Amino acid sequence: MILSLVIIIASTLLILQFFLVQEPTYDYQIEQAFPNLTFDEPVGIYDPKDGTNRLFVLEQDGLIQVFENNENTTSKVVFLDISGSVGSGGGEQGLLGLAFHPNFTENGYFYVDYTDTAGDTVISQFTINSTDINRANTTSEKLILSVSQPYSNHNGGQLAFGPEGYLYISLGDGGGAGDPNGNGQNRSSLLGSILRIDVDSGDPYAIPDDNPFKNNINGYKEEIYAYGLRNPWRFSFDPNSNLLIAADVGQLSWEEIDIIESGKNYGWNIMEGAHCYDAPLCNTTGLELPIYEYSHTFGYSITGGFVYRGSKLTSLVGSYIYGDYGNGKIWTLELQGDNVISNTLLRDTELKISSFGIDYNNEIYLCDYVSGKLYKISENILS
């Protein structure tokens, strides 16, 4: 009697375990998120986190469009037009970044990153129109920072507020090829870095007390948070772990993903990815290696994305979703803390993925630079 009961319980547990360990397999589709909307060379998608559930799209020539985050939306409105201030050289120049102040609901401040008509980087603050939340006050521009650019490419361009409320800014090495001016390793130049500034103190900003090079005696720029970067076009914070993850576009051979930490040197142009650049041997002492890299066999211009914290893609929660502008591939990097568990091809697309963005619910979107359409990912359980 007891024996048969034990057998029944044991076999029930075995059957239960069988079902529990059967991980479903998923199929992912990329579909248009807002079929009725088309943008002109979109390079960014942003949510103001003000509860209005609107999305803002950057158009490279200098416009910000705003629309209701609803797949049936048929109209968009020009929120800001600074095309007259933005250099329209195309390529890697233009209106490149947007960040809403953490207290945007109260103060109406937002920040843009663009290259001006001289090709130099400008980061400036604007204020929302006091009577229409879908319009910016076009005369409210306040210069925060300008950075001279030696070449038209590698301008970085990402802006984002960190969990502590400071503004982070990415700047590429200035351009050319191979970092001819050595800006990546030169901490006396803002180029080749991710900066961190406090726009709520000082005028136009203050250096946070715990910035790694604050009050240094070596002439290093105190705005620098991390350096040795080539062209960190897109970076983001994981709202759960607060990790700052940057995708650094490579030169000839390697695209890389870095976890950015205060004061660290990410290697360029001594290294490209986890490899010596332009020399068989190099001194890698003190250089921070990427958490993941891929060779130009698999893609050739990484577009950084986000650690997914939405609810629709249940299999991807906690994974870093990113892509490659060059070949349209989208991958997911499964993370455990700051360790990489696996990298999986989610979908091979025909899109020119210029940027990813997340909405109020942390759902992820991407923009196709060529068609001007925005896309989303859908998840289907195969078995």
Residues that bind Ca ion (CB under 5 A): 149, 151, 154-155, 174-175, 183, 186, 189, 191-192, 266-267
Nearer Cβ to Ca ion, position 47 or 255?
Answer: 255
b/e sequence 157-181, b meaning 16+ C-beta within 10 Å: bbbbbeeeebbbbbbbbbbeeebee
b/e sequence 75-107, b meaning 16+ C-beta within 10 Å: ebeebbbbbebbbeeeebbbbbbbbbbbebeee
CB of 367 to Ca ion, least distance (A): 22
CB of 193 to Ca ion, least distance (A): 5
Nearer Cβ to Ca ion, position 108 or 212?
Answer: 212
Nearer Cβ to Ca ion, position 176 or 310?
Answer: 176
* Alpha-carbon gap, residue 187 to 3, rounded angstroms: 74
* Alpha-carbon gap, residue 102 to 48, rounded angstroms: 9
Nearer Cβ to Ca ion, position 274 or 317?
Answer: 274
Tokens of 180: 């001819």
CB of 120 to Ca ion, least distance (A): 9
Nearer Cβ to Ca ion, position 94 or 267?
Answer: 267
CB of 280 to Ca ion, least distance (A): 18
Residue 276: C-alpha distances to residues 65, 254, 273, 283 (Å): 42, 11, 8, 8
CB of 381 to Ca ion, least distance (A): 37
Residue 94: C-alpha distances to residues 60, 319, 343 (Å): 5, 30, 32
CB of 97 to Ca ion, least distance (A): 14
C-beta neighbour count of 70 within 10 angstroms: 11
Helix (H, G, I), strand (E, B) or coil at 84: coil
DSSP characters for 248-317? E--SSSEEEEEE--TT-B--TTTEETTEESSSS----TTBPPPSEEEETTT-SSEEEEEE---SS-GGGT
Nearer Cβ to Ca ion, position 80 or 302?
Answer: 302
Nearer Cβ to Ca ion, position 175 or 323?
Answer: 175
CB of 125 to Ca ion, least distance (A): 22
Tokens of 240: 């759960």
